[in-house]
Structure 1
Amino acid sequence: MAYDEGLAHLWREDLAEVEGIAELHMFGGLCFMARGHMLCGVIRDGGMARVGKDHMAAACAMEGVTPLAFTGRPMGGLVALDAELMADDARRGAVLALALDFVAGLPPK
């Protein structure tokens, strides 16, 4: 399953100033890791972010965000971002801020 390289470029630009970011191909997409923890990524023609369970309600209240469900069951703390949200710098940045806040509270791997 291929992913949109243009969306990966958007995440790269957003994360350019964040230390400790690595890229990893997984789930047929591209995942960005922060200090060894999954942070965000690109799947097919949209994005995903790990906002944590405490930020799920705030993230899902944004237009274009839904719980991530690869197998039909929601994956706790992970959200899917549609293509329109990914194209919107402000909304994408708001979701990324939630994800960065969540991952910052995790111990380094």
Structure 2
Amino acid sequence: MARIPPESRHGVTVVSMAYDEDLAHRVRELVAGERGVAEKRMFGGLAFLIGGNMSVCVSGHGGLMVRVPRDDTEKLLAREHVEPMIMAGRETRGWLLVSVEGVKTKRQLQSWVGRGVDYARSLPPK
């Protein structure tokens, strides 16, 4: 779910979640055994860093942002439920947005989180 700033309407405060808490919990379970894992709020979502490098981020707009080797971007875009990551109006190679439908099952989520973690691990620690 996208975050909606708290508003007061007729004396009632309305607050929405910044990101899908269930998806964040599922990712958290998958990375729990990783060394050097940290969570950080970024881009309106919740990022999971490995050794200081972002691996995946539960998006505030739904789905999962996944960091991959730049050279794999085009090949992975051919998969179902995968879109290019657009930032500041430009496609960002090395980043993919996997829709909610693409991470519904444990197997789907493991595949994408594993891919992001593997790439983050390949980078020098920050």
**TM-score normalized by structure 1?**
0.88
Match of 2:64 among 47, 52, 63: 47
Instruction: Kindly state the Cα deviation for residue 34 of structure 1 after the two structures are TM-superposed.
Output: 0.4
In 2, the alpha carbon distance for the partners of 1:102 and 1:58 equals: 16
Moved more, 21-30 or 71-80: 71-80
Secondary structure of the residue aligned to 2:90 is: coil
* Contact 2:27 2:113 (C-alpha < 8 Å) held by counterparts: no
Deviation, 1:95, is 1.8
Supply the AA of the counterpart residue of 1:56.
T
Could you tell me which amino acid in structure 2 is paired with residue 22 of structure 1? A
Where in structure 2 are the equivalents of 1:31-42 lying within 5 Å? 31-42=47-58
5+ residue gaps in structure 2?
4-17
Q: Which moved more, 1:3-12 or 1:52-61?
A: 52-61
Aligned residue number for residue 46 of structure 2: 30
Task: Give secondary structure in 2 for the equivalent of 1:74.
Answer: strand
Deviations 1:28-83 (A, max 9, x none): 11111000001101112211111120222343232111111133311120110101
> 1:8-87 residue pairs with structure 2 within 5 A?
8-44=24-60, 45-87=62-104
Q: Distance in 1 between matches of 2:92 and 2:81?
A: 17
Structure 1 stretches of 4+ with a deviation exceeding 6 A read: none
Is 2:124 aligned against 1:107? Answer: yes
Could you state the TM-score of these two structures normalised by the residue count of structure 2? 0.78
Residues 92 and 62 (structure 1), Cα distance of their counterparts in 2 relative to 1, 3 Å cut = farther
Gaps of 5+ in 1: none
Larger Rg: 2
Give the length in aligned residue pairs: 109
The one-letter amino acid paired with 2:34 is: V
Structure 1 residue 89 displacement after superposition: 1.8
8 A contact 1:7–1:42 mirrored in 2: yes
